[in-house]
Amino acid sequence: MDAVELAFGLRAAFAAAGAGEALADWPALRVTRVAEPATLPVCAVLERAAAQAPASHAALVAGLRDGAAALRWGQTYGAGDFGAEFLRGYGWTELVGLRGPIASDRVAAGFLVLAPGIDYPPHAHEAEEVYLPLSGAAEWMRGDAPFAPVPPGQPIRHPSWMPHAMRTGDAPLVAAYVWRGGDLAAKSKIIS
C-alpha cells in the first residue's frame, strides 16, 4: 500500500473501533509533499507483526509491511534519552501531519512500531493522542494507573499532558496513532 491507501486504512480502523473523535480535522487524503523514504532497524519486525495481526487488522498491517520501504521512518529520541537498544526497537512513520506526505497542521497520524522486549518509558506531550493497537499484545500505562494489557482493536486515549508508557513482551507492536492540538512536531517530555 502507498501512503494514501495506508491513511485511508488507518482512518477506517479508527472509525471501526469507535474512535471517530480522533478523525476530526482530517485533511483530504492526497499526497501534497515529498517525504523521502528512510528506514529503521525496527522495520524488520513488520513481517512478524503482519503474520500475528488479528483478521480485523491483517490487511492494514500487511499493507504497512509491504509499503514500509517507501515511507519515511523516524525517531523522536536519541541514544542519550533511552539508550541504543531502545532505538533499535522503536520507530514511527507519519502519513498525515507536518512531516508526512499528506499535509496537515491540525492533525498528525501514522504508525508506531515497537520490537519485542521494548520499554517505552513514561512521557507526555501537549497534543491529545489516540492509539489503536493493530498487532501485538502490549501493556500500556496511563496517568497513575499501573501497566495493563491492551489487545489489538481497543483505542487508548491520552489527553493533553497525560503521562503514558508502553512495553512489549514477546511480540512486536504495531499501533496506529492520531495526534490533535498543540505542537504536532514537539518532542515528548520524558517523565523520570
CA distance linking residue 145 with residue 141, whole number of Å: 6
CA distance linking residue 66 with residue 68, whole number of Å: 6
Residue spans per domain, the chain? 3-190
Q: At residue 110, what is the residue type?
A: G
What separation in angstroms does the CA of 60 have from each of 12, 52, 135, 147, 160? Answer: 10, 12, 10, 27, 28
Q: What is the pLDDT of residue 53?
A: 98
- CA neighbours closer than 13 Å in the CB half-sphere of residue 48: 14
Q: What is the pLDDT of residue 66?
A: 98
Q: Mention the CATH class of domain 3-190.
A: mainly beta
Q: What is the pLDDT of residue 143?
A: 95
Q: What is the pLDDT of residue 58?
A: 98
Q: What is the pLDDT of residue 151?
A: 96
- Write the DSSP symbol of residue 72: B
Q: What is the pLDDT of residue 122?
A: 96
Q: What is the pLDDT of residue 187?
A: 87
Average pLDDT, consecutive stretches of 10 residues, N- to C-terminus, the chain (192 residues)? 96 96 92 94 98 98 98 94 95 96 96 98 95 96 96 96 97 97 89 84
Q: How many CB atoms lie within 10 A of CB 10?
A: 26
What's the predicted TM-score (pTM) here? 0.96
